[in-house]
Amino acid sequence: MIGLLQASGLAQSSCRACGRAFRGKDQGLICELCLEGLRPYHPMDYSQKIDYVSSYRVFGLYEGVLKEVLHSIKFYNSKTLALRLGRALRDHLWEYVDQVQPDVVTFPALNLRRFWSRGFNHVEHILKGAGLPSVKLFRRVDLSPPFALLSKEERQRAVTGHRLREDLLDLVENKRVLVVDDLLTTGSTLKRLAYLLLSVGASEVHAYIVARG
Ligand SMILES: [Zn+2]
């Protein structure tokens, strides 16, 4: 019976990064050895300019353990692993926070379909794990109703997706905002969010990203 359970993978799980077998005393996806080995990547290349973003900092490259961790958080909806990743980033993130001195910290909103399938915003939980208070400044407008009925202007806004929550605009005006996201590739999401923030009066927008793709 035990042999059967092991063969089917039910008796124990193995770390998705290193393959080592472990019994899930924690989230059961990535072993503590791998998580403890997560370190800021040096030297990070900051030659990529992101329009409207005054400065940004990246923790690591989207590869190896970090890639597995981010993938596992999303694929297995693991809030616990998101919190644990936040602890791994904490010192690096806070060093940047001390430097930038943001008035408010925020993160992109998930589109509704992803939010309902996952039930939580992983970046929000990474920030919780890092002990950095954040505010949900953005909401998503995913207009699925008949696209053809929308005006040209509405269609463009629908594609854009992100909106600032009108009730929180006071938190942005004349303020330094830090946007935290999980993955940097083209920088188009950050650029769009920074533009939105500046358009309602933010004085500066900075960004912190977990991994560079
Ligand atoms: Zn491992």
Q: Is residue 58 located within the same domain as residue 21?
A: no
The predicted pLDDT at position 155 comes to 63
Q: Tell me if residue 6 falls in helix, strand or coil.
A: helix
The predicted pLDDT at position 27 comes to 75
Cα separation values, 56 from 21, 83, 88, 138, Å = 37, 22, 19, 19
- The residue range of the domain holding 51 is 40-212
Q: Is residue 93 located within the same domain as residue 198?
A: yes
The alpha carbon of 85 and the centre of ligand 1 are apart by a number of angstroms equal to: 14
Q: Is residue 118 located within the same domain as residue 156?
A: yes
Q: Is residue 47 located within the same domain as residue 25?
A: no
Two structure tokens written together for 110: 């998930």
The alpha carbon of 184 and the centre of ligand 1 are apart by a number of angstroms equal to: 24
Segment-wise mean pLDDT, segments of 10 residues, the chain, 213 residues: 46 84 76 95 96 98 97 92 97 98 95 72 97 94 66 62 88 97 94 93 98 96
The alpha carbon of 16 and the centre of ligand 1 are apart by a number of angstroms equal to: 7
The alpha carbon of 68 and the centre of ligand 1 are apart by a number of angstroms equal to: 10
The predicted pLDDT at position 130 comes to 98
Residue 8 sits at φ, ψ, to 5 deg, of -85, -5
Q: Is residue 105 located within the same domain as residue 153?
A: yes
Q: Is residue 93 located within the same domain as residue 170?
A: yes
The predicted pLDDT at position 21 comes to 87
The predicted pLDDT at position 5 comes to 46
Say how far apart CA 121 and CA 76 lie, in whole Å.
13
CATH number at residue 146: 3.40.50
The predicted pLDDT at position 173 comes to 95
Q: Is residue 64 located within the same domain as residue 31?
A: no
Say how far apart CA 77 and CA 81 lie, in whole Å.
9
The alpha carbon of 42 and the centre of ligand 1 are apart by a number of angstroms equal to: 22
The predicted pLDDT at position 137 comes to 95
The predicted pLDDT at position 140 comes to 85
The predicted model scores a pTM of: 0.87
The alpha carbon of 190 and the centre of ligand 1 are apart by a number of angstroms equal to: 31
Q: Is residue 157 located within the same domain as residue 130?
A: yes
Q: Is residue 50 located within the same domain as residue 116?
A: yes
Say how far apart CA 165 and CA 100 lie, in whole Å.
24
| Total tally of structural domains belonging to the chain | 2
Q: Is residue 61 located within the same domain as residue 156?
A: yes
